[in-house]
Amino acid sequence: MNKKSLTLIGLGPMGQAMVNTYLDNGYSVTVWNRTAAKAEPLVARGAVLAPTVEEALAANELVVLSLTDYDAVYAVLEPAVGSLSGKAIANLTSDTPEKAREAAAWAAKHGAKHLTGGVQVPPPLIGKPGSSTYYSGPKDVFDAHEEALKVLTEVDHRGEDAGLAAMYYQAQMTIFWTSMLSFYQALALGQANGVTAQDMLPYAKMQFAMMPHFLDLYAQHVDRGSYPGDVDRLAMGAASIDHVTHTHADAGVNTTLLDAVSAIFHAGMDKGFAENSFSSLIEILKKQAG
């Protein structure tokens, strides 16, 4: 089998960027997509459009999946399970760790190996330096296909558990979505005061640039399970988040996000953490015993 050869199923923006990157790097790529027309520009560049999923699977040992979610994975692969035996599936589809574990067991039942992948960058950064993807699943399968996977992004194998890559990915997306909403919240406050997003931008960037300092400090608190209030006290933080929330309410801005944040601060206060650092809020957020 040609080493620089693979099958890629799913031609949304991400799958298309991946196929283009493989073609740029001299790979033979067989593609399949539910909406076959999306393959046309790729076929014009040298990709081969398989007429059926079975033929797409038969073409190569390595099969990269880039689908919306794992329901789409089963919708595509269930009718073709007879062609899965011996395949290495690099499933770069986003979903939950539990779904990834189920899919790995499902693939094994049909004689295929499953690597879970969590791509950390948007389509334009595929094939560009500095991009990265979390992988998890059998290390020998990862090692066997690392060279091909590294064409897309840098790779970071997090462990054998199929769910791990999805967990890291969803943890990262937790930070991304909530941080971006905090940015929009600040912009909404600016707008209500006649300040444009462009005017707010340098100050927002300054705030984000300061965040690594806080991450370093508070990660130590969380791992130690001790939250000394020597630099900040939760009581101060709770008063501050009230000032923030009231500022937005007074400006007529939606406070749904801030009300949720405020509720967590006040749950910490109710637990008696007033004199601890606000890192003590991990005690509210974390999985509770029992």
Q: What is the binding site for ligand NDP (CB under 6 A)?
A: 10-15, 33-35, 38, 66-68, 72, 75-76, 93-94, 119, 122-123
Least Å distance, CB 173 to ligand NDP, is: 9
Q: Are strands 5-9 and 62-65 parallel, antiparallel or unpaired?
A: parallel
Q: Nearer to ligand NDP by C-beta: 126 or 189?
A: 126
What residue is closest to ligand NDP based on CB?
12
Q: Nearer to ligand NDP by C-beta: 111 or 122?
A: 122
Cross-sheet strand order for the sheet of 154-157: 48-49, 28-32, 5-9, 62-65, 88-91, 113-119, 132-136, 154-157
Whole-number Å distance between alpha carbons of 215 and 278: 12
Q: Which tokens go with 136?
A: 């998890």
Spatial contact of 8 and 30, defined as CB atoms under 8 Å apart? yes
Least Å distance, CB 35 to ligand NDP, is: 3
Least Å distance, CB 71 to ligand NDP, is: 6
Q: Nearer to ligand NDP by C-beta: 95 or 232?
A: 95
Q: Nearer to ligand NDP by C-beta: 71 or 250?
A: 71
Per DSSP, the three-state class of 69 is: coil
Least Å distance, CB 70 to ligand NDP, is: 9
Whole-number Å distance between alpha carbons of 28 and 187: 46
